[in-house]
Amino acid sequence: MARLISVLLFLFMLQLCSMTVLSLIEAPDSASFVFGDSLVDAGNNNYLQTLSKADIPPNGIDFTASGGQPTGRFTNGRTIADIVGEQLGQPSFALPFLAPNTTGTAILNGVNYASGGGGILNGTGQIFINRIGMEVQVDFFNTTRKQLDEILGESKAKEFLMKKSIFSVTIGSNDFLNNYLFPLISATVRLNQSPESFIDEMINTLKTQLTRLYTLDARKFVVGNVGPLGCIPYQKSINRVSPNECVTLANQLAMQYNTQLRTMLADLNKNLPGARFLLANVYDLVLELITNYNSYGFSTASVACCGNGGQYAGIIPCGPTSSMCDDRSAHVFWDPYHPSEAANLVIAKYLVNGSTKYISPINLLQLKAL
């Protein structure tokens, strides 16, 4: 009996001890939890068997932290999420959720759940075989949520998430490109579902996903709208439009979705107490870069720097055998789908400290200060 008591006492003290140690861990002042698709994937797809991968050169050629080696990012350097994190004072990039070393205190800088090919709808991106859709990304955050409780203790974890953490969501393009508009799938989908009904389904699903994040203590959100899909080298190449033209249907769908997204976010701002949802107007930002590319120092807004096929190098994705442009900072588009780091830098700058035309109702610096 005495022995049992002393064992129990020992266990109790061990517990006290570990609680004291744990409570000494301080959360950093700024963290980002990143959800989305290949625009912000920081390497999750490296750990999936998927056709949507960027862990091959010359992707990452300008990513300083890896010495120019590919990291899984679908661009030549940093993504918009990387740059925004830096500018908001995050000590290091949010690590990919699926990376083996994303454990312990490493998650205090935030975590990246984004996955190339992923969409709002579960069925999006099937052609890639594997990708993590938004639904599962939220499930993954639920796992992180529990780890944060363990590391920081419940009250600090809650405070960290509600006050110091920014939740960014960049998703929706694949629901159009690799679902509704994808040549092999879209014929049947489009026969059965009008654009209105497809977009309604996207908006309702995303609303539920954002609300789930809110129930897990996310409060400061920034949600990107869908860019001008009809202007990316891939769409311009397969539809053979002229350099100054974009593909109408793709842009119309994006705009239709964006209008509804704005309303939905306003709704959430009204109905979820304490939450701030910012709309990042990626559509108008990218269109601004494309229209006035010269004034931002770009030499082309239609030809991909890395890619092959068609008039805009927009048919075959970027890889070791692709042709690559000489001046990577002179191209708005790195590859058939994704902006270059130079373009990402301009976009991030507007989101961090721009006016309500591009980030509303407040910008990210103001959101962080709340």
Ligand X SMILES: *[C@@H]1O[C@H](CO)[C@@H](O)[C@H](O)[C@H]1NC(C)=O
Site string for ligand X, 309-348 (x = CB under 6 A): ----------------------------------------
Which of the residues 92 through 131 are near ligand X (CB under 6 A)?
Answer: 95, 99, 101, 106, 122
Q: Which of 30, 38, 168, 322 is catalytic?
A: 38
Q: Which of 136, 238, 255, 272 binds ligand X (CB under 6 A)?
A: 136
Say whether residue 194 binds ligand X (CB under 6 A).
no
DSSP of 259-311? HHHHHHHHHHHHHSTT-EEEEE-HHHHHHHHHHTGGGGT-SBSSS-SEEBSTT
Q: Which of 28, 55, 56, 135 binds ligand X (CB under 6 A)?
A: 135
# residues contacting ligand X (CB under 6 A): 13
DSSP letter at 333 equals: B
User: What are the angstrom distances between the C-alpha of 230 and each of 290, 297, 305, 358?
Assistant: 12, 22, 18, 19
Which of the residues 141 through 170 are near ligand X (CB under 6 A)?
Answer: 142
Known catalytic membership, residue 335: yes
Say whether residue 248 binds ligand X (CB under 6 A).
no
Classify burial at 180, counting beta carbons within 10 Å of its beta carbon; exposed 0-12, middle 13-18, buried 19 or more: buried
Say whether residue 15 binds ligand X (CB under 6 A).
no
Min dist. Cβ of residue 245 to ligand X (A)? 34
Q: What is the largest CA-CA distance in the chain?
A: 87
Min dist. Cβ of residue 123 to ligand X (A)? 8
Relative orientation angle of helices 2-23 and 134-152, to the nearest 10 degrees: 110
Known catalytic membership, residue 327: no
User: What are the angstrom distances between the C-alpha of 269 and each of 163, 263, 299, 352?
Assistant: 16, 10, 40, 20
CB 120 within 8 A of CB 206: yes
Known catalytic membership, residue 338: yes
Q: Which of 18, 197, 215, 292 binds ligand X (CB under 6 A)?
A: 215
Give the binding site for ligand X (CB under 6 A). 95, 99, 101, 106, 122, 135-136, 142, 212, 215-216, 353, 365
Annotated catalytic residues are 38, 335, 338
